[in-house]
Structure 1
Amino acid sequence: MQNDRGSTLVIGYLCVTMALVYGSILLARSVWEQSQARGSRDAASAFQLAEAGIDDGIKRLRDDYNWTATATSAFPKGSYQLSVTPEGARRIIRSAATVTGNANLTTQLEAIVQQNIPPHFYDNAIYAAEEVVLKGNAYSVVGNVRTGDDDPVQNTEGVEGEVIYDPNADPLASFEFQQLYDLAMSQGNVYDGDRLQEIQRGQDAFPTEFCYSPPTDPTDPSTCMPNINYITEDLVLNGNIGTIGGFFVVVGNVLTNPSATEDTTINGVGSVEGAIYTTGDFVINGGGGGLNVYGGVWAGDEARLNGNATVEYEATYMRAIERLNLSVDVQLLSWRECPSTGCP
């Protein structure tokens, strides 16, 4: 009888011990999981704060590109310390963020930005941030081809000019698009999706000449005011486009979405008297009668010529656009997350 009671007590003690051990394990696991979850939340919060610091630095540089200093901003969930230092024409933005209640956790980001028009920006028939693709033997390029892609351009027999790899071409220099929008609006040359549809139906039209107003110096045609044709969608032209003219700015909704890109595709026959700036791809599919761009092309992505197509550099048009003295935006060239020891 006593042995039975003893066995029962031992079993009871063992059960209690196992329950305590199991409970301790569950408690430890719960504490660990909560700690991990909090650590993940803190890390995400620190990263978001550091990103806010980078955005703050870009905004300050847009207001004053010569601003080089440090600043600290505090919020309920944490703070960031921002610093901007010059490196030639570029600026290095660093943002180190910590979260409230976890001073041991610091996230540091670094961004490199610039605000300038690269050399030779206005001196090319084709200027592309990425690759240039030349198809067939019916195309013609009169003038230089400049690309930010280090892969050699193939099939260049139809190029009357230099083919130049230029790392400054990528990314494509970004104009201050509000300035261009305002100029185009004053000329009645803003084209949204509805208006582009009317053009396709023949109920509206682009300007037929490059110049909006005559040259201020009759001896220098580059002193005219160009037609600024601001396109808020992809630009797709099909069939016989006739002759259209001006500085075509194909940027989509970039005013509300700075990362927006729009493509330009021209199919068929006709002529463009002027230049085309597109934040995305530029594609010409030339028809039997030929499709020509007399002026030049800038592409934020790829430039591609297929079929019977000509792009010819026209210095007069390019000088007229350059004379607009357009402002350029602060552009992000690269960014990285630095190790816990900081950015070297």
Structure 2
Amino acid sequence: FLTDHFCPGENGDRIGTKSRKCYMVLNESEKKAISSICLIAGPVTFLENILVLLVIASSTTLRRRPSYLFISSLALADTFASCFFTISFLDFHLYSKSDGPNISLFKLGGVTMAFTGSVGSLLLTALDRYLCIYQASNYKVLLTRTRAKLAIVLLWCTTVIISFLPLMGWRCATEFHPPCSLLFPYVDDHYLAFWTGLQLVVLFLIIVAYVLILWKANRHEAAMGGPKSGRQSVKGQARMRMDIQLARTFSLILLILAVCWLPVLSFMMVDVTVILTDKQQRMFAFCCTLCLVNSCVNPLLYALRCKELRAELFALLACCKACRERTLGNTRGQRKENGSGISKKSKDQKTLFCDMKLQDIK
């Protein structure tokens, strides 16, 4: 599939380099730097997001809440990103693996699906927080568990279709033949502009939602600052503090998302309008790793700032510890297990907790 088309020069003139070389612009030191980032961030991202999914799946309370269903969707997207992005990125830039158009577009579609699903899940999370603040009295009626699941299914169906449009036919005939992208082989500039514009619209909607959330939360906090008495006032203040904390948490996630994604989207928009130089292509390759870093940071924000998820994590670890102790106790026999009544009672309590937790997972 390597054709006789040539790479553009600094002024857009064609130069004598085969088309596949147009995309492989990294030198050896840059390859080592990028591979180090991917090989560290990739496995860490995968393990973190798998842990988030396990914690939510093991808790009946979290599984029933739409907010954590959306977080599960985000964790799933970040898990896909850690796999698809790391493998595809290293294959192309580090090992210079030359694939045919279908394989190349399939790999790119996997990466696109992961990051599109991640941004879309953040939009669902922002809308969930928006309804919780602005429609507090009708929140449980407006956003039921069934509707949350339906929204997630629609999100992922749309994401898959959009991500694999190049594989379905919206592509270039060759790797570099106008109007083809200089950032991705076989990708049409019109598709790249469409996808980039879609991501910018989604980011804009997320920003608007969180700005309104923080404005409403701060306004309520100021309104409750006056002298109040009674049980209802205390309950209302506690709820508003929780909403403000959640809004700030997800706003921090949004800030990290914008810092990691705006450089990449900017390069994509520039690629649609002008011809990128080798230096700009190298900068784009490094900016792409920020997207993986974003997927790596998201689970840490949940674990550090979400008390419910953190409590369920500790409960799951306690369950695993109790199960391990029970297994070791069975292999060692009943002699040490029955050594004292206190030890037996403590172990029975741990075993009961573990059994209840396993039943909860089922």
**TM range, normalised to the smaller chain?**
under 0.3
More strand by share: 1
- Identify which of structures 1 and 2 has the higher relative contact order when contacts are C-alpha pairs closer than 8 Å and 6+ apart: 2
TM-score by length of 2: 0.23
TM-score scaled by length of structure 1: 0.24
Greater Rg over alpha carbons, structure: 1
